[in-house]
Amino acid sequence: MRFGRHGWLYCVAQDEVVVFDFETGECLGAVVRLPGLNEQRELFVIARNSSFAFKGKPVDIKQVARDLGVRYVLEGSVRKSGNRIRITGQLIDAASGAHLWADRFDGALEDVFELQDQVASSVVGAIAPSIIHAEMERAKRKPTSSLDAYDYYLRGRAARWQLTRDGTDQAIALYERAIALDPQFAPAHSSLAMALGNRRSWGWSTDPAAEASRAKTYAKSALDLDRQDPLVLTESGNALLISGHGDEFELAASLFEEAIRLDPNGISGWTYGGWAKITLGNYQTAIDYFQRALRLSPLDPRIFVAQGGLAYAHFFLGNYEEGLKHASAALHHHPNYGGALRAAMACNALLGNIEAAQKLWQQVAKLFPSDRVSETRKRWQSGFRSDKDFAKLQEAYRLAGMPE
């Protein structure tokens, strides 16, 4: 690899990104805001002067990683032909040499700033979930005797995203263990708050009121520990919504907007901000938010949450075919996602596909046996503003066979 104006390399660890002599401040600024890859805070960038020791020399990625004490390397190049420019990038696990992500971006020189913005957002949107997924897999392979707070946190994330009752119970226990080992670890607090909120809203709690109170407590403690981590902001905000704290709606909505300001290239703020817009009845704005998340990180393992939101937004707008399309896409990514199952059920019901809606209800009932039409508002995010639209949703559930 050649370094200089037209070459770049980031070395990514849990606590640092080393940037090698590439003139792109936008990409630098975007990478700096990557959430959730450090035990205490986002990544930070070491000055480009740190790369001078490697400049003009043949580079072995594994050796560079060892020298700098990093786990992942993001490398790339810029090529020019006439008035066209091509930027390529790939994310490498330095230990195994495995390629976790690769992409290329083409554009015209006269549009170089637009292309630079595209690269910055696309790279960040791709490498954040790729590294998180790789770290979760790494944590699973570690012996229990050598686990630290961050490992327990990663294991908790993997368990929570199973979207099952057992997985949620496991996640809560793992997050609690992470907090016991490191009480100042804000992401563990916010993730625990969200898992507790999920268990309550999905009907899996034996004491919903106590669960809601604990979710609020951990959401607030996460915010007290770190209000500069976008992931902490979005998870805390969502925990407040799904725990039934209607009096906290304005705070939650503001947390999503703050997360977007801090990390405009991450999908969490756009995704959960979109759900907040649905609650407010701003369905078209919600669609814009969800579509932004899809553009930023279409391969993110969590993208089904945005797709499920699109399904509900289109349902409330009366676009049942479109809603069903997005619900089906979400279920393709995660068959256990209750939000998408219910959205598909509701869209089918109002399309007149009663048999399909009833089959979906059978799937929902197996995962969430306590679902009832009368309990829908309690399960839904707090502060739903349109009684008319909510009544339509409840009628769709009745048509699908959900008990009153």
The 10s digit of each residue's pLDDT in 249-282 is: 888 999 999 999 988 878 889 999 999 999 888 9
Parallel, antiparallel or unpaired: strands 45-46 and 17-19: parallel
What is the overall mean pLDDT for the chain?
A: 79
Largest CA distance in the chain: 72
- Select from 43, 6, 10, 27 the least CA-distant residue to 123: 27
The answer to whether 317 and 348 are in contact (CB under 8 A) is no
Helix (H) or strand (E) holding 180: helix 165-181
Give the number of other Cβ atoms within 10 Å of residue 8's Cβ. Answer: 25
Could you identify the residue written with the tokens 């292309």? 115
164: left (phi over 0), alpha (psi -120 to 50) or beta: beta
**What is the rounded CA–CA span in Å between residue 154 and residue 22?**
32
pLDDT tens for each residue of 290-344:
999 998 877 777 899 999 999 999 999 999 999 999 999 999 999 999 999 999 9
Most confident of 67-71, 134-138, 229-233, 383-387: 229-233
The answer to whether 301 and 161 are in contact (CB under 8 A) is yes
Q: Which tokens in the block code for residue 403? A: 């008990």
Q: What is the pTM of this model?
A: 0.72
The answer to whether 196 and 206 are in contact (CB under 8 A) is no
Residue 3: pLDDT over 90: no
Residue 38: pLDDT over 50: no
**What is the rounded CA–CA span in Å between residue 164 and residue 167?**
5
- Select from 277, 317, 310 the least CA-distant residue to 293: 310
Which is more confidently placed, 189 or 122?
189
| Mean pLDDT score, 79-87 | 75
- Select from 387, 328, 384, 314 the least CA-distant residue to 356: 328
Q: Please classify residue 388 by burial: count the beta carbons closer than 10 Å to its beta carbon, then call 0-12 exposed, 13-18 middle and 19+ buried.
A: exposed
- Measure the CA angle with vertex 8, ends 127 and 135; round to 5°: 25
